[in-house]
Amino acid sequence: MSTSNKNEVNSEQEVRVWMDGCYDMVHFGHANACRQAKHMGTYLIVGVHSDAEITKHKGPPVFTEQERYKMVRAIKWVDQVVEDAPYVTTLETLEEYNCAFCVHGDDITVTADGVDTYHIVKAAGRYRECKRTQGVSTTDLVGRMLLVTKSHHEPDDMLPDRENTLRMSLCKESVSPWTGASQFLPTTNKIIQFSNAREPKPTDKVVYTAGAFDLFHVGHVDFLEKVKACGDYVIVGLHSDKVVNRYKGSNHPIMNLHERVLSVLACRYVDEVVIGAPYSVTLELINHFKVSCVVHGQTQYESDADGRNPYEVPLGLGIFKQIDSGNPMSTQDIITRIIDNRLEYEKRNKKKEAKEAAAYEAFQKLKAENLNESTAVNVNQQA
């Protein structure tokens, strides 16, 4: 076999792939990009930008850099995380980590000066694209959280501007050509792509835990890592939107059931998910999945709709345990961060949308010019 060029995929050797980004409020869209990038090679390295770099080019992130590093490490397709990665991807970075090429979604990311952050690797032919997951973005999720605050967290005269908030929330029309909101349409194929292939072995100790796992965050990651240490095969039961709304109230959950399914499935500590799991852990569920241990965190849990303890059965069987994740973060903590900094996030998103719109307009203009040149060449050749 002939020796392959460094930028080409050689099935007989390791092909290291580079991705980078902010990875703020990591969601299944980020995970899906990592999944696609991993499949383009054999070893995926993800660079995560620092708080200072993000603030300079986009505005303040929701999560700290340490939280974002941990979230990206928990994505099951990621092999290595590089902290404080440069905002503009350079050939020197690819060489330092021996990466054949860089992968990014089919949108444009720009610096504070409006420069394409991937222009160097694109010019060198060491850039590949993956398809962006429609229907979810950090901008969209921030908008959803701001809408939740309207009648529950702030007096009416202290609320975010409704027009700006709605522009960032889930809607039918996108403001940004790439990261504006659009309806997420779940498919069985997407769930299969995110699922693990393996089933529990007869000798595996199966551990079950359940909850909302809304806005999947670093607190969930720390908890699930501890759950994984309790056995060999982790099954997460995800409650339906109706059930979550009963015990969470307000407009919760922020993410719908199918979005939460993909977010949890992308975590390296999870082997299987029960979609729309019953709030009470039943004997039928325990027997069906051959569960050896049922785990819950230290947070207080509500009684079921009939007033009974949802863990009555596993308690009676002596297989119930509560563990401390060591991380007190909750979904409400994230919402509070957004509320407390809402003006900064609205300003950030307006700035981001304006830069994306300008970059998109320039891209479309260049595309049209290239098309005109190509047409002119064809006409001259025919003449």
Q: Are residues 263 and 160 in the same domain?
A: no
Q: Would you say residue 11 lies in a domain?
A: no
Could you tell me if residue 9 is inside a domain?
A: no
335 is a domain residue: no
pLDDT for position 249: 85
Q: At what angle do helices 257-265 and 28-39 cross, to 10 degrees?
A: 40
Question: Residue 125: pLDDT above 50?
Answer: yes
Place of tokens 């069987």: 317
Residue 24 or 147, more confident: 24
- 248-276: average pLDDT: 92
Asked if pLDDT for residue 179 goes beyond 80, the answer is no
pLDDT of residue 170: 33
Work out how many domains the chain is built from and give that number.
3
What pLDDT, on a 0 to 100 scale, did the predictor assign at position 360?
A: 57
Q: What pLDDT does residue 352 have?
A: 60
Q: Is residue 4 part of a domain?
A: no
| Residue owning tokens 């990466």 | 99
- Within a domain: residue 10? no
Same domain, 210 and 325: yes
Least confident of 66-75, 152-161, 285-294: 152-161
- Give yes or no: residues 272 and 323 share one domain: yes
Q: Are residues 285 and 231 in the same domain?
A: yes
Q: What is the DSSP letter of 325?
A: -
**Does residue 10 or residue 132 have the better pLDDT?**
132
Instruction: State the distance between the two ends of the chain, measured CA to CA, in whole angstroms.
Output: 45
pLDDT average, residue stretch 167-179: 33
Q: pLDDT tens for residues 34-93?
A: 999 999 999 999 999 999 999 998 888 889 999 999 999 999 999 999 999 999 999 999
Is residue 40 domain-shared with residue 102, that is, in the same domain?
A: yes
pLDDT tier, 186 (very low <50, low <70, confident <90, very high otherwise): low
Both 202 and 288 in one domain: the answer is yes
- Among 215, 313, 308, smallest CA distance to 264 is for 215
Cα-based distances in Å from 24 to 61, 146, 300, 306, 328: 6, 17, 28, 39, 19
Q: Per the domain annotation, does 353 fall within a domain?
A: yes
**Which of 189-193, 222-226, 271-275 shows the lowest mean pLDDT across its residues?**
189-193
User: How confident is the model over 192-205, as a mean pLDDT?
Assistant: 91
- The whole-number pLDDT of residue 64 equals 95
Q: How far apart are CA 69 and CA 329, in angstroms?
A: 16
Q: What is the mean pLDDT of residues 187-209?
A: 89
Asked whether the beta carbons of 172 and 358 are under 8 A apart, the reply is: no
Same domain (yes/no): 243, 320: yes
Where are the extended beta strands (E) located within 166-309?
A: 206-211, 233-238, 272-275, 291-296
Assess contact for 71 and 221: CB atoms under 8 A: yes
- The pLDDT value given to residue 44: 98
HSE, side-chain direction, 13 A CA sphere, residue 97 = 26
At 317-367, the pLDDT tens digits run 999 999 999 999 999 999 888 888 777 766 666 666 666 666 556 656 666
What is the tens place of the pLDDT at every residue in 204-261?
999 999 999 999 999 999 999 999 999 999 999 999 999 999 999 888 898 889 899 9
Tokens of 348: 């950030």
Do 60 and 88 lie in one domain? The reply is: yes
Q: Is the same domain home to 125 and 178? A: no
How remote is the C-alpha of 2 from its chain's centroid? 39
CB 18 within 8 A of CB 127: no
Q: What is the mean pLDDT of the chain?
A: 82
Q: 277 with 359, same domain?
A: no
Percent of the chain with pLDDT over 90: 56
Choice between 383 and 163, residue whose per-residue pLDDT is larger: 383
Q: What is the pLDDT of residue 107?
A: 76
Contact 322, 293 (CB under 8 A): no
277 shares its domain with 177: no
The per-residue b/e assignment along 276-295, b for 16 or more CB within 10 angstroms, e otherwise, is ebbbbbeeebbeebebbbbb
Tell which of 105, 130, 155 closes a domain: 130
Residue 203 within a domain? yes
58 and 85 belong to one structural domain: yes
* Sign of the C-alpha dihedral computed for residues 209, 214, 217 and 218 taken in this order: negative
Q: Residue 170 sits in which domain range?
A: 138-185+342-381
**Residue 111 falls inside a structural domain:** yes
Residue 217 is part of a domain; what is its CATH number?
Answer: 3.40.50.620
Host H or E run for residue 51: helix 51-57
User: Is-contact 252 214, C-beta < 8 A?
Assistant: yes
